Amino acid sequence: MKWWQNAVVYQIYPRSFQDSNGDGIGDIQGIISRLDYLQELGIDAVWLSPVYASPNDDNGYDISNYQAIHPDYGTMADMDELIEKARDRNIRIVMDLVVNHTSDEHQWFIEAKKGKDSPYRDYYIWRDPVAGGVPNNLTSAFSGSAWTLDENSGQYYLHLFSSKQPDLNWENEQVRREVYDMMNFWLDKGIGGFRMDVIDLIGKVPDKEITADGPKLHDYIQEMHQETLKGRDVMTVGETWSATPETARLYSHPDREELSMIFQFEHILLEEEPDKSKWDIKDLDLVEWKKVLTKWQVELTADGWNSLFWNNHDTPRVVSRWGNDTTYRKESAKLFAILLHHMRGTPYIFQGEEIGMTNRVIQSVDEVDDIESRNMYYERLEKGYSEEELLHLINVRGRDNARTPIQWDDSKHAGFTEETPWLPVQPNHVEVNVKQALEDKESVFYTYQKLIRLRKENPILVRGDFKLLLPAHPTVFAYERQFEGERWLVCGNISSEPQEISLSESGEADVMIVSNYSRAAVDLKAIQLKPYEAFSIKLK
């Protein structure tokens, strides 16, 4: 058993976590000032989104120096202090590794742009025009072509994200060497590991328009493991939008010496029209959703490891997306916590999820920060979409939803900052905030705290088998965990309508473990579930 197999990881988006110097931007000293809170919650590791030098075109996922801290966030001394003070609380700091691309303001790209004979030219991917235009049909995740013309050389360079995020050429051994040296710089500082940004893209073959899962992808990851991770007690989680349980085994089988686990997104992608974009939305079919979650629970058991998450800095907040962020905000936030934290895998909590923070509603594109939303808005406005339609898309799917400042208390800027925050604080911070949550024994916070503690105290959660119940029920997600004769039943009504179900095949209920309605007992033959009611119970 590795430490990260019964750990719970907390994702911090530093810009929005806690400001300490009154510039309206979250920073590392702000995180240090909140370590006691994270220790109180009980988490074991922090995934820290990028704090490196960056022009912030993509809020830090466009890095101009991997071994320097952006002044917005502080200094390298602050970073060393964070790693040390977190370790004093048995909290590891997992850094974000963004090596599919750099910023166009990285020294390597500045050199590469100087001309075709630059020693750094082949750090990136350059192609001559074809028929006077872009080399092929590859497109950017942030709208438009993935190719931008460099006037100076008359060649195009590849960027699967913004034109200020040129893709690194992983075929070039020098690039790989530079990345491994940088990784060892951070690992030697005693960080807990890496979250690896779009790592499934580094094996791309642009001339064949192959982006994810390229032919050399696992060769590169295995080489990376040997050159940096081998022999270190660290965790790695790859962000792999293309993953299936089959490929997840390739990344996470312990004998393959690649990664500890990956983030798979199949349950997230169910709301998108197949082979289109995140903005081509379709309704969620909960039966399909349960089937996908079950597939990942049962197909990765023996020879791989799962991550478990509902949201992150790229996705809308779970209580608004799938729950009910008005009448049943607390109940549905607790329901999703109960359903996730009883599953097999390493759970991730996105900052603010533990107090049931909600999406942010905007009325105008002028309020939008995120490049992905802005580019989509203007591209689709050109194509004739209405402003109202596009604002709706941003309100339900935009990444700013997750990036509003953490609501620490009911003061003017929610205790996040004394000045004007870089992104407005949500109006509902007056009632949804950490201070209130810590004072309210029935708050979402204490449900998360209990679930985190349960994972430490009960091997069934870490090692037990998973069995889906009521597969065809349209709104109830129920499953059993079984380990060495012990059986737990977990059940949640993902709807605002009461439901009556029978789970008599699970036998006799024993003691209640967790409930979001303070339920004391359950008669498995006939269970009346309240709106968004969830519970877990031991079975005899």
**Residue ranges binding Ca ion (CB under 5 A):** 19, 21, 23, 25, 27
- How far apart are the C-alpha atoms of 161 and 139, rounded to whole Å? 9
Out of Ca ion, ligand TEU, none, what residue 314 binds, judged by CB under 5 to 8 A for its kind, is ligand TEU
Q: Applying CB under 6 A, does 164 fall inside the site for ligand TEU? A: no
Q: Applying CB under 6 A, does 369 fall inside the site for ligand TEU? A: no
The nearer residue to ligand TEU, 162 or 515, going by C-beta atoms, is: 162
Active-site choice (58, 72, 78, 239): 239
Query: What are the Cα distances from residue 393, in Å, to 175, 222, 248, 401, 424?
Result: 38, 39, 31, 12, 19
Q: Applying CB under 6 A, does 44 fall inside the site for ligand TEU? A: no
Q: Are strands 346-350 and 261-263 parallel, antiparallel or unpaired?
A: unpaired
CA proximity to 399, closest of 423, 421, 417, 415: 423
CA proximity to 349, closest of 337, 361, 339: 337
Out of ligand TEU, Ca ion, none, what residue 141 binds, judged by CB under 5 to 8 A for its kind, is ligand TEU
**Single-letter residue type at 327:** T
- How far apart are the C-alpha atoms of 222 and 214, rounded to whole Å? 14
Out of Ca ion, ligand TEU, none, what residue 198 binds, judged by CB under 5 to 8 A for its kind, is ligand TEU
- How far apart are the C-alpha atoms of 93 and 107, rounded to whole Å? 27
Among 3, 37, 241, 385, binds ligand TEU (CB under 6 A): 241
For residues 165 and 106, the answer to whether their CB atoms sit within 8 Å is: no
Q: Applying CB under 6 A, does 372 fall inside the site for ligand TEU? A: yes
Q: For 328-458, where are the alpha helices, taking DSSP H only? A: 329-341, 371-382, 387-397, 434-439, 444-457
Q: Applying CB under 6 A, does 278 fall inside the site for ligand TEU? A: yes
Map residue 499 onto helix, strand or coil.
strand
Provide the Cα torsion 234, 239, 243, 249; round to 10°.
Answer: 0
Per the structure block, which two tokens stand in for 515?
């409930």
Instruction: Kindly state the DSSP code that residue 50 receives in the 8-state scheme.
Output: -
Residue nearest ligand TEU (C-beta atom): 61
Site string for ligand TEU, 382-411 (x = CB under 6 A): -----------------x------------
Q: Where are any strands of DSSP class E within 215-259? A: 235-239
- Asked about 23 being catalytic, the answer comes back as no
Dihedrals phi, psi of 127, to nearest 5 degrees = -140, 145
Out of Ca ion, ligand TEU, none, what residue 517 binds, judged by CB under 5 to 8 A for its kind, is none
Active-site choice (197, 314, 372, 533): 197
- Asked about 285 being catalytic, the answer comes back as no
Number of amino acids touching ligand TEU (CB under 6 A): 14
Out of ligand TEU, Ca ion, none, what residue 27 binds, judged by CB under 5 to 8 A for its kind, is Ca ion
Shortest reach from residue 371's CB to ligand TEU, in Å: 8
Q: Applying CB under 6 A, does 309 fall inside the site for ligand TEU? A: no
Site string for ligand TEU, 127-146 (x = CB under 6 A): --------------x-----
Among 58, 104, 167, 480, binds ligand TEU (CB under 6 A): 58
Binding site for ligand TEU (CB under 6 A): 58, 61, 98, 141, 161, 197-198, 239, 241, 278, 313-314, 372, 399
Positions marked active-site: 197, 239
